[in-house]
Amino acid sequence: MDLVVGIESRGFILGAAVADRLGAGFAPIRKPGKLPAKAFRESFNLEYGSDALEMHEDAIRAGQRVLIVDDVLATGGTAAAAASLARRCRGELLGLAFLIELVALNGRAKLPNESIYTVLKY
């Protein structure tokens, strides 16, 4: 693992800790307009509207092995957008890790063929 990507904002806390334990770098994915340099944007739908995420265009070097970390996998829209951003930055996405998965919301359906790890399932 070369790089852990944390999704705003609780993913920053969990992702930074994971990156430290793995001896990997860390990169943030943030809500629009919060990053200081040129960024890719990925829009996605939520059950109650739409949103977007951004990642610096140079956050991932081509071929870096990436793990995305966040607190909750719910409907999967945020996670799918994060995965798309990691790939647009030319990273090799190895998987996504979450503290909690809300199984009834079927977020995995938006992440076909992704390696997903969750600590707790409700």
The closest of 14, 8, 3, 46 to 28, measured between CA atoms, is 8
Spell out where 12-91 has E strands: 25-29, 39-46, 49-56, 65-73
Under the banding of pLDDT at 50, 70 and 90, the label for residue 14 is very high
**Which residues are known to be catalytic?**
10, 47
Q: Tens of pLDDT along 15-69?
A: 999 999 999 999 999 999 999 999 999 999 887 889 999 999 999 999 999 999 9
* Domain 3-121, CATH class in plain words: alpha beta
Q: Tens of pLDDT along 75-105?
A: 999 999 999 999 999 999 999 999 999 999 9
- Tokens for 43? 């829009």
Q: Are strands 65-73 and 49-56 parallel, antiparallel or unpaired?
A: unpaired
Question: How far is residue 79 from each of residues 18, 23, 37, 104, measured CA to CA in Å?
Answer: 17, 23, 22, 16
Q: How far apart are CA 34 and CA 62, in angstroms?
A: 24
Residue 111 predicted with pLDDT over 90: yes
